[in-house]
Amino acid sequence: MIKNDIYEITIDDIGNDGEGIGHVPDRQNGKNFAVFVKDTVIGDRARIRIVKAKKTYAYGRLEELIEPSPYRAEAVCGKARSCGGCSLMHMSYEKQLEYKWNKVKSCLEKIGGISDAGAIMEPVCGMEAPYFYRNKMQLPVGRDRDGNIVIGFYAGRTHSIINLEKCYIGHEVNDYIIKHVRKWLENADDWNIVYNEENHTGLVRHILTRVGFATCELMVCLVINGDNLPDEYEKPFVGAVCTAVQEYNDTQEKQVKLTSVCINVNKEKTNKILGDKCATLYGKDYIEDYIGDILFRISPLSFYQVNPVQTKAIYDKAIEYASLKGSETVWDMYCGIGTISLSLAKKAKKVYGVEVVSAAIRDAKENARINNIKNAEFFCGKAEEVVPKFYQRADADEGKHPDVVVVDPPRKGCDVVLLDTIASMSPDRLVYVSCDPATLARDVKILSEMGYKLMKAAVFDAFCQSGHVETVGVLSNKKTVE
């Protein structure tokens, strides 16, 4: 395969960034070459030009759409093509759901070594209204080539910022916040008020917003490359946020409550969005939200699931798979602010949670207290360090041999040391909540070698319009099953 070769291909898969994938037999050995083509959809018949050829795959450019896919849909957002946030928006929602279910199935089969994964998978759980569902936005701030201030999303695979006026997946109050914060930054008349990633100068890097969908509480956090927001900027910034909220509320029956305005200090030259230090400028240090009937306190640095409607469905599935009667001991690994732990605590004898972010553990303990839940204990640290240490403690109690373990790791999946310790703890069931089916499948394979068998899996569309997918699986101890 050579640069500038032209092929006619049918798109039959989607890559991680939402680009279409077609296959072409190689000239020399006839082997199938995967070609990644941006702006194509599963089912498209297209003429493409190879722009970059690697050993086993290539990148192509769409030259001509010969026959558009029946699954193409008009994206509601005019910026969907350039913006990296909604890479599947140009596909019908039904097809998006089918694609996600198939993606999980294929990972479980190819990476997880399960022969017919479809047989143990439940139907995909999509949303009735897959828009305006996100409770959190992290909006980069910068300048475009002409020096204009831009706030929005990164374009796919780059760090150039797509300026947003309206976002179709975030809470609509964000449109007003973007507008008024942009106005404040423009009026400040200071070139260095916004951050420049290339030379690591300038002040404002990101705007982080969070809305508790059940409580309507709003947090706005300004991430800055500096120790504090200079006095002359503090009032205009808080003022801009207040104006935005007022303007939004004037158009709505369901009003949002501005509960917290804060800054986060991030002076590092890094892709990480948040630094370790926060300071509150207005209101409280946190917002609160309900999942089901449990109230959660959420600090800016704590993780909180972004899609509240699907979160409830995901946690309900985790609870169903945990199959608790009330006498069980449970571990919740990667527990965040204790959302799953506290949901389980009501149905178990004792729950242990472990999480690496100290602010999240503070929230988790506080959340147990405000909900009057007394049978949950939390540990701060890396799960792969805390849990083995706990397991080796001579005086460790029943937590050494839990009935159920829940894991909900970040995309990279579980550390193998943790999986090893879990296998030694020998729970009857292991509930795996995953935001990356590839690492889920890898860990399922490892666990199968340690005596655990995947019994069921359910797929949830928690990140509608994007290529991401959430899965909940339950593994049983082969000793108990067979």
List the catalytic residues. Answer: 435
Q: Which of 340, 364, 419, 430 is in the footprint of ligand SAH by CB under 6 A?
A: 340
Q: Which of 25, 68, 230, 410 is in the footprint of ligand SAH by CB under 6 A?
A: 410
Q: Could you say which residues in the range 272-311 bind ligand SAH, by CB under 6 A?
A: 303-305
Phi and psi at residue 233, in whole multiples of 5°?
-100, -20
* Closer residue to ligand SAH in complex, CB, 356/450: 356
Quick note: the x/- pattern for ligand SAH over 346-385, rule CB under 6 A, is --------xxxx--x---------------------xxx-
Q: Are strands 287-291 and 294-298 parallel, antiparallel or unpaired?
A: antiparallel
* Closer residue to ligand SAH in complex, CB, 37/337: 337
Query: Which among 48, 134, 131 has a CA at the least distance from the CA of 96?
Result: 131
* Closer residue to ligand SAH in complex, CB, 68/410: 410
Binding segment toward ligand SAH, per CB under 6 A, in 160-168, 171-179, 406-414, 439-447: 406-414
* Residues 403/429, Cβ–Cβ less than 8 Å: yes
Shortest Å distance, C-beta 288 to ligand SAH: 15
Query: Which among 295, 347, 290 has a CA at the least distance from the CA of 320?
Result: 347
Amino acid at 408: D
Shortest Å distance, C-beta 26 to ligand SAH: 41
Shortest Å distance, C-beta 409 to ligand SAH: 6
Q: Which of 175, 408, 436, 443 is in the footprint of ligand SAH by CB under 6 A?
A: 408
19 part of the interface to ligand SAH, by CB under 6 A? no
Residue with the shortest CB distance to ligand SAH: 336
Report the half-sphere exposure of 316 (CA within 13 A, side-chain side).
12
* Closer residue to ligand SAH in complex, CB, 360/440: 360
Query: Which among 433, 481, 441 has a CA at the least distance from the CA of 458?
Result: 433
Shortest Å distance, C-beta 386 to ligand SAH: 8
Determine the Cα–Cα distance for residues 436 and 441; give it in Å rounded to an integer. 9
Q: Are strands 287-291 and 350-355 parallel, antiparallel or unpaired?
A: unpaired
Query: Which among 236, 170, 246, 239 has a CA at the least distance from the CA of 208?
Result: 170
Shortest Å distance, C-beta 384 to ligand SAH: 6
* Closer residue to ligand SAH in complex, CB, 194/440: 440
Phi and psi at residue 207, in whole multiples of 5°?
-115, 125
Query: Which among 431, 445, 440 has a CA at the least distance from the CA of 474?
Result: 431
Amino acid at 2: I
Report the half-sphere exposure of 400 (CA within 13 A, side-chain side).
10
Shortest Å distance, C-beta 356 to ligand SAH: 4
Hey, what are 126's tokens? 């999509």
Counting residues that bind ligand SAH (by CB under 6 A) gives: 19
Binding site for ligand SAH (CB under 6 A): 303-305, 334-336, 339-340, 354-357, 360, 382-384, 408-410
